[in-house]
Structure 1
């Protein structure tokens, strides 16, 4: 059993589809080919099948579906569910359908979990998560619009990690964030402080695409291993979470 991660699948199926019988013209609402992700769902499928087995777990931290409503997102959830392994999902900035954690969990197929300001256990390891947000001082930060959201998200990560630490004090901890906890421009944040405070082993994150990959910070930082898992950065192949 292994734990893998891949984020930002950005699926947009508009009807039930199988793993292989996808009509590019009629089944996909928002093709990612305009970003150079040519039929990326085929690439994700093939590379997922290469590495993930039925007993493995895949963490998917955000931007899973372009759907605006849950009844649309369920087509993307069902497609992911047809791939091997257990899946643990958390929200991203484009997960507009995720207005209610309860309703998302009721919609997910069996074998898929939704983590948001809380945690689950995967193969004896705590996996806690929330969305995260832009960081103060980063190039996209806007004090007026971002501060409140940022502080709320830091608080939600604290809730998740505090609860996990209280209920499972001796278990290793992984954090799932959609936004990076630090970048090449910002060396500290409330998110990073919490990862250190609660002795998180590894934080997987996504959100960064294309030229923004150069903003990524990876490797061991103040005792926390950071791992960018945006699917285009990984060439659409889930990677083992480094513990």
Structure 2
């Protein structure tokens, strides 16, 4: 079994569609070609089918769907579910439908999981996840708007890792975040502190697009391997993790 990751698919199907013959003029609410993502769903499909097998797992840390409500997001989830593999998803900043974990989980097709301030197990490995947030010192951070959310998200990651460690002592720990845990402007964060405290070995994240991709911090940072897996950063091809 192989584990892959790919985040930020930014799908917006307005009805049930199959993997092929999508009509962007009728089937899509928010085309991404304005950002240079020409039929990116076809690119994701082709690359996914090329590398992912049914016994594999794909981590999808956020911005799965542009939908405002779960009733619309389900079209995007069902499209993804036609692709092979187990899919583990967590929320991003554009996942406006993600108000209730229970409601999302009840709506998900088989072989798809939603984690948020909790975790799942993949081949004996802990996969914990939460959304993350803008970091103090970063370009878009505003103290009066972001401090409470930032600290709440750190707490949610801690809760997930505490519970996972309690129930699965000794298991390797990976983390899914949507926002990066550090940036060039914010070289420290509570997210990194928590991951180091619990011995997390790998963190996948998304959120960064376009020119921001080139400023992403990746590689081993204090024992935590950081990987940007936003789909445009990895050529719309699920990234092989292990």
The DSSP-based 3-state class of the residue aligned with 2:105 is helix
Task: Note the C-alpha offset of 1:21.
Answer: 2.2
Which residues of 2 match residues 22-37 of structure 1 at below 5 A?
A: 22-37=22-37
Partner of 2:173: 173
CA contact (8 A) 1:185 1:215 kept: no
Q: Structure 2: how far apart are the matches of 1:8 and 1:208? A: 9
1:28-61 deviation per Cα after TM superposition (whole angstroms, max 9, x unaligned): 0000000000000000000000100000000000
1:110-147 deviation per Cα after TM superposition (whole angstroms, max 9, x unaligned): 10000000000011110000000000000111111111
The DSSP-based 3-state class of the residue aligned with 2:33 is helix
Partner of 1:21: 21
Partner of 1:51: 51
Task: Note the C-alpha offset of 1:184.
Answer: 1.5
The DSSP-based 3-state class of the residue aligned with 1:144 is helix
Which residues of 2 match residues 200-239 of structure 1 at below 5 A?
A: 200-239=200-239
Task: Note the C-alpha offset of 1:215.
Answer: 2.5
Provide the aligned C-alpha RMSD in A: 0.6
Q: Which stretches of structure 1, 4 residues or longer, exceed 4 Å deviation after superposition? A: none
Which residues of 2 match residues 76-115 of structure 1 at below 5 A?
A: 76-115=76-115
Which residues of 2 match residues 92-171 of structure 1 at below 5 A?
A: 92-171=92-171
The DSSP-based 3-state class of the residue aligned with 1:126 is strand
CA contact (8 A) 1:57 1:88 kept: yes
Q: Structure 1: how far apart are the matches of 2:107 and 2:204? A: 24
1:133-183 deviation per Cα after TM superposition (whole angstroms, max 9, x unaligned): 000000111111111110110000000011111111111111000000001
1:66-117 deviation per Cα after TM superposition (whole angstroms, max 9, x unaligned): 0000000000000000000000000000000011011000011010000000
For these two proteins, the number of residue pairs brought into alignment is: 242
Partner of 1:199: 199
TM-score, normalization by structure 2 = 0.99
The DSSP-based 3-state class of the residue aligned with 2:226 is strand
Q: Structure 2: how far apart are the matches of 1:157 and 1:103? A: 21
CA contact (8 A) 1:131 1:177 kept: yes
Q: Would you say 1:5 and 2:5 are equivalent positions?
A: yes
- State which drifts further: 15-24 or 233-242: 233-242
Q: Structure 1: how far apart are the matches of 2:107 and 2:175? A: 23
CA contact (8 A) 1:30 1:66 kept: yes
